[in-house]
Structure 1
């Protein structure tokens, strides 16, 4: 349930993207990282690699298709340069996971060794997934704004990290416990950033909204002034 919440947490962000028809300064890194992470955990949970991991397979299988949808939306609403980059990275991720799975299944012949190899690779990608929202860290600190680091994603990462860490303790599975424990710490860092820059973010957004409102008022006023001037000019033109 917490993993499903994590995968669905960016929905408000993408609703805004679809309405504005632009990704603005949102980063595709969290979605590319989660995309490859889900693929790897599906492979890890296969009975021929790590038996009795049906929960791992089902939720990450669902996550794979959800993240694929996010990437499609990113491609649709990005500029040409970023669009090409996103498609290329996603294809490379799919090819690498496919090659890895083929090699493991053909050259490693016990589930214990298969679990170790795929588990180690999955740990790296899982840590990348949790750390990926921090890809905008420089932007957050420079602008003192967390506008482009979605809060829902950070909260979901925190809850998901705790839940999977506990899940991995009974029985102990180091390949699930290690990255999710570290992921919880990354999520805490993100939440601290939110607490630090929440007030300044609200102030910046309010100032920008007020500025836009003033600009719109000036446009309307100038338009009406021009219209009135034209009416007066036409009125004088009709006087003999």
Structure 2
């Protein structure tokens, strides 16, 4: 019979695969940017947010903070690299004003991350305290990012169309949230449970909305391209182009 640690590792590996699929979901968008050599009205904010979130979770999973969390480090390390690639592509094809905005936000994120690392390593000398401090930051940023689909869900209800909420992306997001929640419960980790439990709940709500409004959506609209997330603060308003859907990932 498998031990709890063995089961947890298996669940974590499955979670890595699901998270990797979510991290790859923006690829069609960046292929389009690369082919058109223009970012048009595409926003880099979700990618910048995910970039910071991945850095926090990588730090959380390091042995100096929270030992025996290598699977958290691996997937968020991959996410960190992919987000860096996405941001590089955006930077290459963005106008100067957008480039400057990206550089400013990146600078703030790096200073913030450096301060967290230095403060935790130098100021706290036990795993428990380090885990608590970094975990709080991870929960805050992770929960905010998992709440990002709320704007798309509101759009689905308003338009009675699932055009901007692809089924398989929503399903993968739901399974990803469930998988990492189970992983966290097997060796209880409240800081992983909270954001991923929220992600599972929101993923389930997306699936419910999909089944409610699928029939009222023109069939040609259900084949839209996949996009990375829009944040809750970027919900569309009158006179603004409606955003595409996507999902943020964090462990």
- Both structures adopt the same fold (TM-score exceeding 0.5): yes
Segments of structure 2 that go 5 or more residues without pairing to the other structure are 1-16, 225-251
Residues 182, 203 of structure 1: CA spacing in aligned structure 2 closer, same or farther, 3 A cutoff?
closer
Higher RCO by CA contacts (8 Å cutoff, separation 6 or greater)? 2
Partner of 1:38: 54
User: What does 1:8-157 align with in structure 2 at a 5 Å threshold?
Assistant: 8-134=24-150, 153-157=169-173
- The Cα shift of 1:110 comes to 0.6
Partner of 1:182: 198
SS at match of 2:88: helix
Residues 79, 128 of structure 1: CA spacing in aligned structure 2 closer, same or farther, 3 A cutoff?
farther
SS at match of 1:168: helix
Is the counterpart of residue 168 in structure 1 residue 188 in structure 2? no
Q: Over the residues paired in the alignment, what is the CA RMSD in angstroms? A: 3.0
SS at match of 2:187: coil
- The Cα shift of 1:94 comes to 1.6
Q: Deviations over 1:147-202 (max 9, x none)?
A: 66666654432222111111101111110011001012233444456553782583
Partner of 1:234: none
| Kept after mapping to 1: 8 A contact 2:181/2:192 | yes
Is the counterpart of residue 3 in structure 1 residue 19 in structure 2? yes
C-alpha separation in 1, matches of 2:162 and 2:94: 21
Higher helix share: 1
| Kept after mapping to 2: 8 A contact 1:26/1:149 | no
- The Cα shift of 1:139 comes to 6.8
C-alpha separation in 2, matches of 1:32 and 1:12: 18
Instruction: From the CA coordinates, give the structure whose radius of gyration is larger.
Output: 1
C-alpha separation in 2, matches of 1:61 and 1:50: 15
| Kept after mapping to 2: 8 A contact 1:10/1:153 | no
Deviates most, 163-172 or 29-38: 29-38
SS at match of 1:199: coil
Residues 139, 81 of structure 1: CA spacing in aligned structure 2 closer, same or farther, 3 A cutoff?
farther
TM-score with structure 2 setting the length:
0.70
C-alpha separation in 1, matches of 2:174 and 2:90: 24
Match 1:202 to one of 220, 224, 227: 220
